Structure 1
Protein backbone atom coordinates (compact mmCIF):
# COMPACT_ATOMS: atom_id res chain seq x y z
CA UNK A 1 0.00 0.00 0.00
CA UNK A 2 1.21 3.49 -0.84
CA UNK A 3 1.32 5.30 2.50
CA UNK A 4 1.85 8.71 0.91
CA UNK A 5 -1.54 8.52 -0.85
CA UNK A 6 -3.38 7.27 2.24
CA UNK A 7 -1.75 9.76 4.60
CA UNK A 8 -2.28 12.62 2.14
CA UNK A 9 -6.02 11.94 1.79
CA UNK A 10 -6.51 11.41 5.52
CA UNK A 11 -4.59 14.55 6.47
CA UNK A 12 -6.29 16.72 3.85
CA UNK A 13 -9.83 15.66 4.73
CA UNK A 14 -9.14 15.55 8.46
CA UNK A 15 -7.90 19.15 8.53
CA UNK A 16 -10.85 20.35 6.46
CA UNK A 17 -13.36 18.54 8.69
CA UNK A 18 -11.56 19.70 11.82
CA UNK A 19 -11.76 23.33 10.74
CA UNK A 20 -15.48 22.86 10.01
CA UNK A 21 -16.20 21.27 13.39
CA UNK A 22 -14.24 23.96 15.23
CA UNK A 23 -16.20 26.68 13.42
CA UNK A 24 -19.81 25.57 13.42
CA UNK A 25 -20.47 21.86 13.11
CA UNK A 26 -20.36 19.24 10.39
CA UNK A 27 -24.14 19.11 9.93
CA UNK A 28 -24.21 22.60 8.48
CA UNK A 29 -22.05 21.43 5.57
CA UNK A 30 -24.22 18.43 4.66
CA UNK A 31 -26.77 19.22 1.97
CA UNK A 32 -28.17 16.34 -0.06
CA UNK A 33 -29.45 18.39 -3.03
CA UNK A 34 -25.96 19.88 -3.39
CA UNK A 35 -24.39 16.42 -3.26
CA UNK A 36 -26.83 15.17 -5.91
CA UNK A 37 -26.04 18.08 -8.23
CA UNK A 38 -22.26 17.77 -7.93
CA UNK A 39 -21.87 13.99 -7.82
CA UNK A 40 -24.65 13.18 -10.27
CA UNK A 41 -23.71 15.94 -12.68
CA UNK A 42 -20.02 15.00 -12.65
CA UNK A 43 -20.74 11.31 -13.18
CA UNK A 44 -23.21 12.01 -15.97
CA UNK A 45 -20.93 14.46 -17.77
CA UNK A 46 -18.02 12.00 -17.49
CA UNK A 47 -20.16 9.27 -19.06
CA UNK A 48 -20.98 11.60 -21.93
CA UNK A 49 -17.29 12.38 -22.43
CA UNK A 50 -15.99 8.79 -22.17
CA UNK A 51 -17.30 5.33 -23.10
CA UNK A 52 -19.16 3.58 -20.27
CA UNK A 53 -16.57 0.80 -20.05
CA UNK A 54 -13.77 3.30 -19.49
CA UNK A 55 -15.76 5.17 -16.83
CA UNK A 56 -16.34 2.00 -14.82
CA UNK A 57 -12.71 0.99 -15.22
CA UNK A 58 -11.63 4.14 -13.36
CA UNK A 59 -12.21 2.33 -10.06
CA UNK A 60 -9.64 -0.31 -11.00
CA UNK A 61 -7.29 2.41 -12.21
CA UNK A 62 -7.69 4.33 -8.94
CA UNK A 63 -6.46 1.29 -7.03
CA UNK A 64 -3.00 1.90 -8.49
CA UNK A 65 -2.82 5.05 -6.38
CA UNK A 66 -3.13 2.97 -3.21
CA UNK A 67 -1.86 -0.55 -3.80
CA UNK A 68 0.65 -0.60 -6.66
CA UNK A 69 4.19 -1.14 -5.51
CA UNK A 70 6.68 -0.73 -8.38
CA UNK A 71 9.71 -2.94 -8.58
CA UNK A 72 12.94 -1.63 -7.21
CA UNK A 73 15.98 -1.64 -9.48
CA UNK A 74 17.98 -3.13 -6.63
CA UNK A 75 15.79 -6.24 -6.93
CA UNK A 76 15.85 -6.46 -10.73
CA UNK A 77 19.60 -6.24 -11.36
CA UNK A 78 20.68 -9.11 -9.03
CA UNK A 79 17.85 -11.25 -10.46
CA UNK A 80 19.04 -10.74 -14.03
CA UNK A 81 22.65 -11.42 -13.03
CA UNK A 82 21.54 -14.71 -11.51
CA UNK A 83 19.49 -15.61 -14.59
CA UNK A 84 22.40 -14.69 -16.87
CA UNK A 85 24.83 -16.86 -14.88
CA UNK A 86 22.47 -19.83 -15.12
CA UNK A 87 21.91 -19.28 -18.84
CA UNK A 88 25.65 -19.16 -19.55
CA UNK A 89 26.41 -22.27 -17.46
CA UNK A 90 23.43 -24.49 -18.33
CA UNK A 91 22.02 -22.92 -21.48
CA UNK A 92 19.07 -20.62 -21.94
CA UNK A 93 16.63 -23.55 -21.83
CA UNK A 94 17.55 -24.00 -18.17
CA UNK A 95 15.73 -20.76 -17.39
CA UNK A 96 12.39 -22.50 -18.01
CA UNK A 97 12.60 -23.95 -14.51
CA UNK A 98 12.78 -20.40 -13.13
CA UNK A 99 9.55 -19.21 -14.74
CA UNK A 100 7.41 -20.65 -11.95
CA UNK A 101 9.26 -18.48 -9.42
CA UNK A 102 8.59 -15.23 -11.31
CA UNK A 103 5.42 -13.37 -10.33
CA UNK A 104 5.70 -10.59 -12.89
CA UNK A 105 3.80 -11.62 -16.05
CA UNK A 106 5.73 -9.23 -18.28
CA UNK A 107 9.10 -10.61 -17.21
CA UNK A 108 7.90 -14.20 -17.46
CA UNK A 109 6.55 -13.57 -20.96
CA UNK A 110 9.81 -12.01 -22.11
CA UNK A 111 11.90 -14.87 -20.73
CA UNK A 112 9.57 -17.42 -22.33
CA UNK A 113 10.03 -15.74 -25.71
CA UNK A 114 13.80 -15.87 -25.26
CA UNK A 115 13.67 -19.52 -24.19
CA UNK A 116 11.55 -20.36 -27.24
CA UNK A 117 14.32 -19.03 -29.47
CA UNK A 118 12.42 -16.05 -30.87
CA UNK A 119 14.60 -13.55 -32.72
CA UNK A 120 15.75 -10.70 -30.44
CA UNK A 121 14.23 -8.05 -32.71
CA UNK A 122 10.87 -9.83 -32.55
CA UNK A 123 11.10 -10.11 -28.76
CA UNK A 124 11.77 -6.39 -28.46
CA UNK A 125 8.90 -5.56 -30.83
CA UNK A 126 6.43 -7.71 -28.89
CA UNK A 127 7.42 -6.37 -25.48
CA UNK A 128 7.59 -2.74 -26.58
CA UNK A 129 4.13 -3.03 -28.13
CA UNK A 130 2.82 -4.30 -24.81
CA UNK A 131 4.43 -1.34 -23.04
CA UNK A 132 2.80 1.05 -25.51
CA UNK A 133 -0.66 -0.36 -24.79
CA UNK A 134 0.07 -0.26 -21.06
CA UNK A 135 0.87 3.45 -21.36
CA UNK A 136 -2.34 3.98 -23.33
CA UNK A 137 -4.42 2.32 -20.60
CA UNK A 138 -2.76 4.44 -17.96
CA UNK A 139 -3.25 7.55 -20.07
CA UNK A 140 -6.97 6.78 -20.38
CA UNK A 141 -7.32 6.43 -16.61
CA UNK A 142 -5.53 9.72 -16.05
CA UNK A 143 -7.72 11.44 -18.64
CA UNK A 144 -10.88 10.29 -16.85
CA UNK A 145 -9.56 11.67 -13.56
CA UNK A 146 -8.70 14.98 -15.23
CA UNK A 147 -12.15 15.06 -16.84
CA UNK A 148 -13.81 14.59 -13.45
CA UNK A 149 -11.55 17.26 -11.99
CA UNK A 150 -12.84 19.64 -14.67
CA UNK A 151 -16.50 18.77 -14.18
CA UNK A 152 -16.52 18.89 -10.36
CA UNK A 153 -16.07 22.69 -10.14
CA UNK A 154 -18.32 23.17 -13.17
CA UNK A 155 -21.13 21.24 -11.49
CA UNK A 156 -20.48 23.26 -8.35
CA UNK A 157 -20.97 26.45 -10.35
CA UNK A 158 -24.21 25.10 -11.85
CA UNK A 159 -25.43 24.28 -8.36
CA UNK A 160 -24.53 27.79 -7.25
CA UNK A 161 -26.59 29.26 -10.08
CA UNK A 162 -29.53 27.01 -9.19
CA UNK A 163 -29.36 28.10 -5.57
CA UNK A 164 -29.19 31.78 -6.50
CA UNK A 165 -32.17 31.49 -8.84
CA UNK A 166 -34.18 29.76 -6.13
CA UNK A 167 -33.19 32.41 -3.64
CA UNK A 168 -34.10 35.31 -5.92
CA UNK A 169 -37.47 33.80 -6.76
CA UNK A 170 -38.43 33.54 -3.08
CA UNK A 171 -37.01 36.74 -1.66
CA UNK A 172 -40.43 37.58 -0.27
CA UNK A 173 -40.22 34.55 2.05
CA UNK A 174 -37.19 34.91 4.34
CA UNK A 175 -37.47 31.27 5.50
CA UNK A 176 -36.48 29.99 2.04
CA UNK A 177 -33.43 32.17 1.61
CA UNK A 178 -31.24 30.07 3.92
CA UNK A 179 -31.77 26.66 2.23
CA UNK A 180 -31.41 28.15 -1.24
CA UNK A 181 -28.21 29.93 -0.24
CA UNK A 182 -26.90 26.69 1.27
CA UNK A 183 -27.33 24.92 -2.06
CA UNK A 184 -25.64 27.84 -3.82
CA UNK A 185 -22.55 27.78 -1.63
CA UNK A 186 -22.21 24.10 -0.75
CA UNK A 187 -22.22 22.93 -4.36
CA UNK A 188 -19.16 25.09 -5.00
CA UNK A 189 -17.59 23.68 -1.84
CA UNK A 190 -18.24 20.06 -2.86
CA UNK A 191 -16.93 20.71 -6.36
CA UNK A 192 -13.71 22.22 -5.04
CA UNK A 193 -13.22 19.34 -2.62
CA UNK A 194 -13.80 16.67 -5.26
CA UNK A 195 -11.47 18.28 -7.78
CA UNK A 196 -8.62 19.48 -5.57
CA UNK A 197 -8.47 16.82 -2.86
CA UNK A 198 -9.25 13.76 -4.97
CA UNK A 199 -9.21 13.90 -8.77
CA UNK A 200 -6.27 16.20 -9.49
CA UNK A 201 -3.89 14.60 -6.93
CA UNK A 202 -4.90 11.08 -8.00
CA UNK A 203 -4.37 11.94 -11.67
CA UNK A 204 -0.89 13.17 -10.78
CA UNK A 205 -0.14 9.99 -8.83
CA UNK A 206 -1.33 7.86 -11.77
CA UNK A 207 1.03 9.73 -14.12
CA UNK A 208 3.87 9.09 -11.70
CA UNK A 209 2.97 5.41 -11.42
CA UNK A 210 2.81 5.08 -15.20
CA UNK A 211 6.28 6.59 -15.63
CA UNK A 212 7.72 4.32 -12.94
CA UNK A 213 6.15 1.18 -14.39
CA UNK A 214 7.22 2.07 -17.91
CA UNK A 215 10.81 2.66 -16.78
CA UNK A 216 10.89 -0.70 -14.98
CA UNK A 217 9.52 -2.49 -18.04
CA UNK A 218 12.13 -0.82 -20.27
CA UNK A 219 14.74 -2.06 -17.84
CA UNK A 220 13.30 -5.58 -18.01
CA UNK A 221 13.32 -5.47 -21.83
CA UNK A 222 16.99 -4.48 -21.77
CA UNK A 223 17.80 -7.38 -19.43
CA UNK A 224 15.88 -9.93 -21.49
CA UNK A 225 17.53 -8.78 -24.71
CA UNK A 226 20.95 -9.09 -23.06
CA UNK A 227 20.20 -12.64 -21.88
CA UNK A 228 18.84 -13.59 -25.31
CA UNK A 229 22.03 -12.24 -26.83
CA UNK A 230 24.20 -14.29 -24.45
CA UNK A 231 25.88 -11.29 -22.82
CA UNK A 232 28.25 -11.66 -19.92
CA UNK A 233 26.58 -11.04 -16.50
CA UNK A 234 28.99 -8.18 -15.85
CA UNK A 235 27.98 -6.50 -19.10
CA UNK A 236 24.29 -7.06 -18.30
CA UNK A 237 24.77 -5.34 -14.96
CA UNK A 238 26.36 -2.32 -16.63
CA UNK A 239 23.51 -2.12 -19.14
CA UNK A 240 20.91 -2.19 -16.37
CA UNK A 241 22.75 0.27 -14.13
CA UNK A 242 22.05 2.90 -16.77
CA UNK A 243 18.45 2.95 -15.49
CA UNK A 244 19.59 3.63 -11.91
CA UNK A 245 20.49 7.13 -10.60
CA UNK A 246 24.29 7.51 -10.38
CA UNK A 247 24.29 7.98 -6.59
CA UNK A 248 22.39 4.68 -6.15
CA UNK A 249 24.49 2.46 -8.43
CA UNK A 250 26.15 -0.50 -6.72
CA UNK A 251 27.97 -3.24 -8.55
CA UNK A 252 27.84 -6.88 -7.48
CA UNK A 253 31.25 -7.42 -9.08
CA UNK A 254 34.11 -6.09 -6.99
Structure 2
Protein backbone atom coordinates (compact mmCIF):
# COMPACT_ATOMS: atom_id res chain seq x y z
CA UNK A 1 0.00 0.00 0.00
CA UNK A 2 1.30 3.43 -0.98
CA UNK A 3 0.75 5.65 2.06
CA UNK A 4 2.16 8.66 0.21
CA UNK A 5 -0.73 8.58 -2.27
CA UNK A 6 -3.28 8.53 0.53
CA UNK A 7 -1.55 11.47 2.21
CA UNK A 8 -1.46 13.32 -1.11
CA UNK A 9 -5.24 12.91 -1.56
CA UNK A 10 -5.90 14.21 1.94
CA UNK A 11 -3.58 17.18 1.41
CA UNK A 12 -5.32 17.95 -1.89
CA UNK A 13 -8.69 18.23 -0.16
CA UNK A 14 -7.18 20.21 2.70
CA UNK A 15 -5.54 22.66 0.29
CA UNK A 16 -8.80 23.43 -1.52
CA UNK A 17 -11.19 23.36 1.43
CA UNK A 18 -8.74 25.12 3.76
CA UNK A 19 -7.99 27.73 1.13
CA UNK A 20 -11.69 28.39 0.60
CA UNK A 21 -12.23 28.83 4.34
CA UNK A 22 -9.20 31.10 4.77
CA UNK A 23 -10.33 33.20 1.83
CA UNK A 24 -13.67 33.69 3.53
CA UNK A 25 -15.74 31.76 0.99
CA UNK A 26 -16.50 28.82 3.25
CA UNK A 27 -17.09 25.17 2.36
CA UNK A 28 -20.58 25.83 1.05
CA UNK A 29 -19.20 27.94 -1.77
CA UNK A 30 -17.51 24.84 -3.20
CA UNK A 31 -20.71 22.81 -3.39
CA UNK A 32 -22.52 23.03 -6.70
CA UNK A 33 -24.62 20.33 -8.29
CA UNK A 34 -24.60 22.12 -11.64
CA UNK A 35 -20.79 22.38 -11.66
CA UNK A 36 -20.53 18.70 -10.76
CA UNK A 37 -22.83 17.74 -13.61
CA UNK A 38 -21.00 19.83 -16.19
CA UNK A 39 -17.43 18.99 -15.16
CA UNK A 40 -17.47 15.49 -13.70
CA UNK A 41 -20.27 13.91 -15.75
CA UNK A 42 -19.12 15.81 -18.83
CA UNK A 43 -15.52 14.59 -18.40
CA UNK A 44 -16.69 11.00 -17.97
CA UNK A 45 -18.79 11.21 -21.14
CA UNK A 46 -15.93 12.77 -23.10
CA UNK A 47 -13.39 10.17 -22.01
CA UNK A 48 -15.82 7.32 -22.75
CA UNK A 49 -16.26 8.66 -26.27
CA UNK A 50 -12.51 9.22 -26.61
CA UNK A 51 -11.37 5.77 -25.41
CA UNK A 52 -11.87 2.26 -26.83
CA UNK A 53 -13.80 -0.04 -24.51
CA UNK A 54 -10.91 -2.44 -23.86
CA UNK A 55 -8.60 0.43 -22.90
CA UNK A 56 -11.22 1.97 -20.63
CA UNK A 57 -11.74 -1.38 -18.92
CA UNK A 58 -7.99 -1.74 -18.37
CA UNK A 59 -7.82 1.81 -16.99
CA UNK A 60 -10.44 0.93 -14.38
CA UNK A 61 -8.46 -2.21 -13.51
CA UNK A 62 -5.12 -0.44 -12.95
CA UNK A 63 -6.39 2.68 -11.15
CA UNK A 64 -5.91 0.80 -7.87
CA UNK A 65 -2.15 0.84 -8.56
CA UNK A 66 -2.11 4.49 -7.48
CA UNK A 67 -2.73 3.32 -3.90
CA UNK A 68 -1.73 -0.35 -4.10
CA UNK A 69 1.01 -0.71 -6.73
CA UNK A 70 1.85 -4.26 -7.83
CA UNK A 71 4.56 -5.91 -5.79
CA UNK A 72 8.04 -5.26 -7.10
CA UNK A 73 11.37 -6.36 -5.68
CA UNK A 74 14.11 -6.32 -8.34
CA UNK A 75 16.76 -7.38 -5.80
CA UNK A 76 14.82 -10.51 -4.97
CA UNK A 77 14.21 -11.19 -8.66
CA UNK A 78 17.94 -11.03 -9.37
CA UNK A 79 18.54 -13.48 -6.53
CA UNK A 80 16.00 -15.86 -8.06
CA UNK A 81 17.54 -15.60 -11.52
CA UNK A 82 20.99 -16.31 -10.09
CA UNK A 83 19.55 -19.30 -8.23
CA UNK A 84 18.00 -20.59 -11.45
CA UNK A 85 21.29 -20.16 -13.27
CA UNK A 86 23.17 -22.10 -10.59
CA UNK A 87 20.62 -24.92 -10.75
CA UNK A 88 20.74 -25.03 -14.55
CA UNK A 89 24.54 -24.98 -14.54
CA UNK A 90 24.77 -27.90 -12.12
CA UNK A 91 21.76 -30.03 -13.08
CA UNK A 92 20.74 -28.83 -16.53
CA UNK A 93 17.75 -26.78 -17.73
CA UNK A 94 15.29 -29.61 -17.10
CA UNK A 95 15.96 -29.23 -13.37
CA UNK A 96 13.98 -25.98 -13.54
CA UNK A 97 10.83 -27.76 -14.67
CA UNK A 98 9.59 -28.20 -11.10
CA UNK A 99 9.75 -24.42 -10.55
CA UNK A 100 7.44 -23.64 -13.46
CA UNK A 101 4.26 -24.96 -11.86
CA UNK A 102 5.04 -23.23 -8.56
CA UNK A 103 5.40 -19.82 -10.22
CA UNK A 104 2.42 -17.50 -9.76
CA UNK A 105 3.50 -14.73 -12.13
CA UNK A 106 2.29 -15.66 -15.68
CA UNK A 107 5.19 -13.83 -17.37
CA UNK A 108 7.87 -15.52 -15.26
CA UNK A 109 6.14 -18.88 -15.71
CA UNK A 110 6.12 -18.44 -19.48
CA UNK A 111 9.78 -17.46 -19.52
CA UNK A 112 10.82 -20.44 -17.40
CA UNK A 113 8.77 -22.80 -19.56
CA UNK A 114 10.47 -21.53 -22.70
CA UNK A 115 13.81 -22.01 -20.97
CA UNK A 116 12.99 -25.56 -19.89
CA UNK A 117 11.76 -26.40 -23.39
CA UNK A 118 15.22 -25.60 -24.73
CA UNK A 119 14.12 -22.57 -26.77
CA UNK A 120 16.97 -20.84 -28.58
CA UNK A 121 18.16 -17.75 -26.66
CA UNK A 122 17.25 -15.23 -29.35
CA UNK A 123 13.89 -16.88 -29.95
CA UNK A 124 13.22 -16.75 -26.21
CA UNK A 125 14.15 -13.07 -26.17
CA UNK A 126 11.95 -12.31 -29.16
CA UNK A 127 8.87 -14.05 -27.75
CA UNK A 128 9.10 -12.38 -24.35
CA UNK A 129 9.98 -8.92 -25.66
CA UNK A 130 6.91 -8.94 -27.91
CA UNK A 131 4.78 -9.66 -24.85
CA UNK A 132 6.51 -6.93 -22.83
CA UNK A 133 5.99 -4.38 -25.59
CA UNK A 134 2.34 -5.32 -26.08
CA UNK A 135 1.56 -5.22 -22.38
CA UNK A 136 3.40 -1.94 -21.84
CA UNK A 137 1.59 -0.35 -24.80
CA UNK A 138 -1.82 -1.46 -23.50
CA UNK A 139 -1.13 -0.33 -19.93
CA UNK A 140 0.30 3.03 -21.03
CA UNK A 141 -2.81 3.62 -23.12
CA UNK A 142 -4.88 2.85 -20.01
CA UNK A 143 -2.84 5.31 -17.92
CA UNK A 144 -3.36 7.99 -20.57
CA UNK A 145 -7.12 7.71 -20.03
CA UNK A 146 -6.64 9.75 -16.84
CA UNK A 147 -4.32 12.12 -18.67
CA UNK A 148 -7.04 12.68 -21.26
CA UNK A 149 -9.60 13.28 -18.51
CA UNK A 150 -7.22 15.82 -17.02
CA UNK A 151 -7.17 17.68 -20.33
CA UNK A 152 -10.95 17.70 -20.78
CA UNK A 153 -11.87 18.69 -17.21
CA UNK A 154 -10.49 22.28 -17.23
CA UNK A 155 -12.16 23.03 -20.57
CA UNK A 156 -15.47 21.77 -19.26
CA UNK A 157 -14.89 23.90 -16.19
CA UNK A 158 -14.66 26.95 -18.44
CA UNK A 159 -17.86 25.89 -20.19
CA UNK A 160 -19.53 25.65 -16.78
CA UNK A 161 -18.28 29.12 -15.85
CA UNK A 162 -19.60 30.62 -19.09
CA UNK A 163 -22.96 28.94 -18.59
CA UNK A 164 -23.06 30.35 -15.07
CA UNK A 165 -22.27 33.84 -16.32
CA UNK A 166 -25.04 33.49 -18.90
CA UNK A 167 -27.44 32.82 -16.04
CA UNK A 168 -26.08 35.88 -14.21
CA UNK A 169 -26.66 38.07 -17.26
CA UNK A 170 -30.34 37.18 -17.12
CA UNK A 171 -30.54 38.65 -13.63
CA UNK A 172 -28.84 41.99 -14.25
CA UNK A 173 -32.02 43.74 -13.19
CA UNK A 174 -31.67 42.23 -9.71
CA UNK A 175 -28.28 43.31 -8.23
CA UNK A 176 -28.83 41.17 -5.12
CA UNK A 177 -28.35 38.03 -7.20
CA UNK A 178 -25.25 39.14 -9.10
CA UNK A 179 -22.60 38.43 -6.46
CA UNK A 180 -23.86 34.95 -5.62
CA UNK A 181 -24.40 34.14 -9.29
CA UNK A 182 -20.88 35.15 -10.33
CA UNK A 183 -19.34 33.18 -7.43
CA UNK A 184 -21.33 30.09 -8.37
CA UNK A 185 -20.28 30.46 -12.00
CA UNK A 186 -16.60 30.11 -11.11
CA UNK A 187 -17.12 26.98 -9.00
CA UNK A 188 -17.15 24.95 -12.23
CA UNK A 189 -13.71 26.36 -13.11
CA UNK A 190 -12.43 25.30 -9.69
CA UNK A 191 -13.86 21.82 -10.21
CA UNK A 192 -12.28 21.46 -13.65
CA UNK A 193 -8.82 22.80 -12.85
CA UNK A 194 -8.80 21.25 -9.37
CA UNK A 195 -9.74 17.73 -10.46
CA UNK A 196 -7.27 17.88 -13.35
CA UNK A 197 -4.23 19.17 -11.47
CA UNK A 198 -4.79 17.62 -8.05
CA UNK A 199 -6.04 14.18 -9.09
CA UNK A 200 -6.27 13.19 -12.75
CA UNK A 201 -2.91 14.34 -14.16
CA UNK A 202 -0.86 13.19 -11.13
CA UNK A 203 -2.63 9.81 -11.24
CA UNK A 204 -1.79 9.44 -14.93
CA UNK A 205 1.87 10.30 -14.32
CA UNK A 206 2.13 7.82 -11.46
CA UNK A 207 0.48 5.02 -13.41
CA UNK A 208 2.79 5.58 -16.39
CA UNK A 209 5.82 5.43 -14.08
CA UNK A 210 4.57 2.15 -12.59
CA UNK A 211 3.93 0.65 -16.04
CA UNK A 212 7.38 1.62 -17.28
CA UNK A 213 8.97 0.28 -14.10
CA UNK A 214 7.23 -3.08 -14.57
CA UNK A 215 8.44 -3.20 -18.18
CA UNK A 216 12.05 -2.54 -17.10
CA UNK A 217 11.84 -5.28 -14.48
CA UNK A 218 10.47 -7.73 -17.05
CA UNK A 219 13.23 -6.73 -19.46
CA UNK A 220 15.75 -7.48 -16.72
CA UNK A 221 14.18 -10.93 -16.31
CA UNK A 222 14.46 -11.57 -20.05
CA UNK A 223 18.16 -10.71 -19.95
CA UNK A 224 18.62 -13.15 -17.10
CA UNK A 225 16.76 -15.98 -18.82
CA UNK A 226 18.66 -15.46 -22.08
CA UNK A 227 21.94 -15.50 -20.14
CA UNK A 228 20.92 -18.81 -18.49
CA UNK A 229 20.02 -20.23 -21.91
CA UNK A 230 23.49 -19.23 -23.12
CA UNK A 231 25.07 -21.03 -20.16
CA UNK A 232 26.72 -17.92 -18.72
CA UNK A 233 28.41 -17.88 -15.33
CA UNK A 234 25.95 -17.02 -12.49
CA UNK A 235 28.31 -14.31 -11.19
CA UNK A 236 28.38 -12.64 -14.60
CA UNK A 237 24.60 -12.82 -14.79
CA UNK A 238 24.27 -11.20 -11.37
CA UNK A 239 26.71 -8.43 -12.30
CA UNK A 240 24.83 -7.71 -15.55
CA UNK A 241 21.38 -7.63 -13.97
CA UNK A 242 22.59 -5.42 -11.12
CA UNK A 243 23.05 -2.69 -13.71
CA UNK A 244 19.26 -2.41 -13.95
CA UNK A 245 19.09 -1.34 -10.31
CA UNK A 246 20.66 2.01 -11.17
TM-score band (shorter)?
Answer: over 0.9
Per-residue deviation at 1:230? Answer: 1.8
Within the alignment, does 1:210 sit opposite 2:211 as a pair? yes
**Residue-pair matches, total:** 245
**Counterpart-to-counterpart distance in 2, 1:124 and 1:43:** 40
Per-residue deviation at 1:69? Answer: 3.6
> Contact 1:84–1:233 (CA<8 Å) still a contact in 2?
yes
Superposed structure 1 runs of 4+ greater than 4 Å apart: none
CA RMSD of aligned residues (A): 1.8
Residue 104 of structure 2: aligned partner: 103
Within the alignment, does 1:59 sit opposite 2:60 as a pair? yes
> Contact 2:43–2:152 (CA<8 Å) still a contact in 1?
yes
> Contact 1:152–1:192 (CA<8 Å) still a contact in 2?
yes
**Counterpart-to-counterpart distance in 2, 1:91 and 1:53:** 42
Look up the SS of the partner of 2:225 in the other structure.
helix
Per-residue deviation at 1:192? Answer: 1.1
Within the alignment, does 1:149 sit opposite 2:150 as a pair? yes
> Contact 2:39–2:153 (CA<8 Å) still a contact in 1?
yes
> Contact 1:33–1:183 (CA<8 Å) still a contact in 2?
no
* Residue pairs, 1:173-188, within 5 angstroms: 173-174=174-175, 176-178=177-179, 180-188=181-189
Residue 43 of structure 1: aligned partner: 44
5+ residue gaps, structure 1, are 246-254
Residue 78 of structure 2: aligned partner: 77
5+ residue gaps, structure 2, are none
Per the normalisation by structure 2, the TM-score is: 0.92
Residue 252 of structure 1: aligned partner: none
Residue 219 of structure 1: aligned partner: 220
**Counterpart-to-counterpart distance in 1, 2:174 and 2:32:** 20
Residue 5 of structure 2: aligned partner: 5
Q: Which moved more, 1:135-144 or 1:51-60?
A: 51-60
**Counterpart-to-counterpart distance in 1, 2:156 and 2:67:** 27
Residue 115 of structure 2: aligned partner: 114
Per the normalisation by structure 1, the TM-score is: 0.89
Per-residue deviation at 1:59? Answer: 1.8
**Counterpart-to-counterpart distance in 2, 1:185 and 1:136:** 38
Residue 190 of structure 2: aligned partner: 189
